[in-house]
Structure 1
Amino acid sequence: MVVPANPKIYHIVHVDRLPSIIAGGALWCDGRVIRQGAEGTTIGMSDIKRRRLEELTLENSHPELFVGECVPFYFCPRSVMLFLIHMRNHELAYKGGQGPIVHLEADLYEAVEWAEEHDKRWAFTLSNAGSYYFEDRCSLDDLEEINWDAVRALDWRGGLKEGKQAEFLVENHFPWRLVRRIGVHSERVYRQVLNLLPDDGHRPTVEIKNDWYY
């Protein structure tokens, strides 16, 4: 598969989690959030979060590192997970829909450079890192193994679902200052995010991105 010239990565959070991210200067892995607590709404499936923390490791790349001890990103907006949130899937405790969810966009190569400079392990998976059968890699030379057609697909039926859920994972935390853009669903959330950003700190570009949502 042809790797994009400048691949981006996307982390999704409820907008009310932004104040704690900004105050702490970082996005934190689920392991730390659960141990220490964090203000704001938790999204995602609790049983899969537990599995990522207690059972699943990056077997090929860092076999002693649990998936849940990493900050996860997708390689695209409008993820399969966001669809489940939009549909208010019965397995989700969160039932608020996609409206309050924001996309935090960063640059993949910049993320890898930061991780290596700060001795943070990183990897990417070829499918959902919450499943029992994903494959992981930790070399940028292997990016072509990602199904980029699936990642880019807006309609991921017909066998594209697994490839679309490929993840980038970085150990422990990811710096807020590397978030380059925030994509939101509506004017209301756009204004909410602008009001949350510090006047004298890092202020990513904020855009209403309807095509990043269902």
Structure 2
Amino acid sequence: MKVAWSATHQEFLLTDGYYFSGLYKHLCKRKIEIEEVDDFDRLFEYDVIVFNYPENPFSSEEKEKIREALEQKGKKIIFTAHFKNKDGVSEICNSITRDYGIDILPEGIKDEMHHLEDDLFIITTDEVKLYREGVKEVVFPYSAPLEVENGAEVVLRARKTSLTDSGKKSPVLIAQKRFESGGKLIVCGSCIFWDNFSLFRLDNLQFVVNIFEGAE
């Protein structure tokens, strides 16, 4: 499997070893080839494309290429955001994901009972609905909540003890849309559940590997 980590829209970069050295190392160990790609057209030569916190908007032409990759070419495309629409990233992602029934809300999520490091935003959850093989619990820091409709599936939820800024319990953290081509759109409310802080806590590493490999 070949994974393109986009460097085309001012994303958090895979080559920033302080944050993502663990992810790169452990995916390579599992024969998942992952490469940082700074040419938008080249992204679509890969099986999986990651837009990890894209800070620059997508053009109409780029959105059309993403649509074709999902609906016709069977690509898996992953978007990640952050809480409270930081840097406008949630809305940049929504410009694509909303058409497929997944909306990233401009809010944060706290859990007073299940969190790490005395930080209510570094929530943990065992509400793993997909990609759960070998996974019981994950940490999902500083996530935005998602709204899901139009046949999109829930991959991960926060616990019932969690609350969004608007007072909703157990929000969706990751959602997925499947396409007849075999393509998948995966949208994550957090962009740091696979960084060096989170990856080796609880079952995050196995969860991340499952997402890339498709082990639901």
- Per the normalisation by structure 1, the TM-score is 0.24
Q: Which has the higher contact order (CA 8 A, sep 6+)?
A: 1
- Per the normalisation by structure 2, the TM-score is 0.24
Name the structure where strand makes up a greater proportion of residues: 2
Name the structure where helix makes up a greater proportion of residues: 1
